[in-house]
Amino acid sequence: MVTAAVQAAREIAAAVPDPELPMVTLADLGILRDVAAEGEQLVVTITPTYSGCPALREIAHDLRYRLTQAGFTDVIVRTELAPAWTSDWITPEGRSKLRAAGIAPPSPARRRQVPPGPVPLTLTGTRREPVHCPRCGSGDTTQTAAFSATACKALFRCETCREPFEYVKDI
Amino acid sequence: MTEDEFAAYQSLAQDSDDHRWAFGTGFTDPLEGIDASVPDGVDAAALATYCLMLGDDALIYSHRLQQWMTRLPELEEETAIANIALDLLGQARMLLARAGLAEGAGRQEDRLAFFREENEFRNVRLVEALDADFAELTGRLLVFSAWRLALFGQLAGSRDPVLAAIAAKGVNELSYHRDYAAQWVIRLGDGTRLSHDKMQAALSTIWPLVDELFRADGVVAALPEVAAHPQAVRAEVDAVLDTVLARATLNRPDRAPMAAVAGKTGRDGVHTEAFGYILAELQSLARAHPDGTW
């Protein structure tokens, strides 16, 4: 397969919306790991955000469907587990799209010690850095729930404009 | 909804044909496309059993957490427990798939989840009981997630790259589970007189099942550098539990471990009375329609 075709396929794959956060694309979220040709086959590699993420199969289906529609006849979608997805892979563009849709983008994820050691306990709601309200920009916000309607989000409330909002968890 | 948001949702509809979001349709192997060959020198049968143990812990506990749905005190706790159950189910699917591939007899995740008998399940007995109340739910979740997080932290360096990848991913999820449970145990323990007493009573119920988490067995011994030795995580788990209990003004219960049956516990396929009821609910549909598809 020629390079131009792979490049075209990469652009199509990158533009596929996430089924649960359709305002951002697979590339924005950093779950699209690779698009490459292996002989006549097009191999697309993706990584799940969370182990139980039900969207992964939908994503694979959407990729195959869109690439097939664009004329790629032999498409394989592979899952890659390592390295594990981190919210740090969400692109700057993805972050501004999330914010525009009223969802606060994640703060930098906690990095573990190298070599891996025990993960420190978090026993209070106090955060290392404030989460800013996506509506009014205030940093005076409170977490109301550590989990939300999808595996990747938590619930917050802005103490300035009093609006509730979702936050993509830093992981 | 703004026009942009509407366009985003509409773009999803472009991709649909007959598959979208229908219950039970076309599940694919969660390890599809992953190199699942067993590394040289690793005992494949022992690896399969070990993955079954870790997968069964998550499968059975996820089922128990799912049974809490619609019964929790607040919507926020519903979403939390649902998400935790979903994370564990995802871990279970990958671990059972890994077990099936290492075993090499063609058994896939569904075959292992729905068509094994009670004595073939290898989960610890901690995950079997139906929680009597919210205090027991949070106490059990604290013990389970603190233990599993410590275990997965070690397994992230396993010689089996598939197990290592599943564990590394799980560490991120389990950190959230443990913090959630710890914060509730503190809130209840250091709360009112009533919540404190209920939390202390819940710990007392759970504690006889804690010792079993650290029992050594032959499977782990057969997997040097692949499995994590149960004793090796005890200090980390104890430190976490002691920290949380101290903040919660709760005492570590002084309870004797639940007895083994002729030397056997959950890891050997010997379970408590509650287990039969779990399997009845978990497996009945699949067994009534073996190999049924939608």
Domain-wise residue ranges, chain B: 42-288
Segment holding B136, helix H or strand E: helix B134-155
**C-alpha angle with apex B185: B192 to A132, nearest 5 degrees?**
100
Q: Which residues of chain A have pLDDT under 50?
A: 114-115
Contact of B130 with B205, CB cutoff 8 Å: no
- Is the CB of A82 less than 8 angstroms away from the CB of B165? yes
> Of chain A residues 71-130, which have a CB less than 8 A from chain B?
76-86, 100-101, 110, 112, 115-119, 121-125
- Is the CB of B168 less than 8 angstroms away from the CB of A151? no
Asked if pLDDT for residue B10 goes beyond 50, the answer is yes
> Of chain B residues 184-223, which have a CB less than 8 A from chain A?
186
DSSP 3-state of B246: helix
Which CATH number applies to B42-288?
1.20.1260.10
Q: Each residue of B244-260: pLDDT tens digit?
A: 999 999 999 999 999 99
Neighbour-count burial for B57-87, b at 16+ CB within 10 Å, e otherwise: bbbbbbbbbbebeeebeeebbbbbbbbbbbb
pTM (2 d.p.): 0.92
User: For residue A111, what pLDDT is reported?
Assistant: 67
In degrees and rounded to multiples of 5, residue B216 shows phi and psi of -80, 155
Q: Determine contact: B18 vs chain A, CB below 8 A.
A: no
Segment holding A166, helix H or strand E: strand A164-168
ipTM of the complex: 0.89
For CA atoms B67, A152, B155, B28, give the dihedral sign.
positive
Spell out the domains of chain A, with CATH numbers in brackets. Answer: 3-79 (3.30.300.130), 91-110+127-168 (no CATH)
**How does DSSP classify residue B261?**
B
- Chain B residues in contact with A60 (beta carbon < 8 A): 28
User: For residue B19, what pLDDT is reported?
Assistant: 47
User: For residue A54, what pLDDT is reported?
Assistant: 80
As given in the structure block, the two tokens for residue A147 are 């989990």
Q: Which of A81, A99, A127, A167 to mutate to test the interface with B (most CBs of B within 10 A)?
A: A81
What is the Cα gyration radius of chain A? 18
User: For residue B13, what pLDDT is reported?
Assistant: 58
Q: Each residue of B102-113: pLDDT tens digit?
A: 999 999 999 999
DSSP 3-state of B109: helix
- Chain A residues in contact with B143 (beta carbon < 8 A): none
User: For residue A124, what pLDDT is reported?
Assistant: 72
B136/B291 Cα distance (integer angstroms): 37
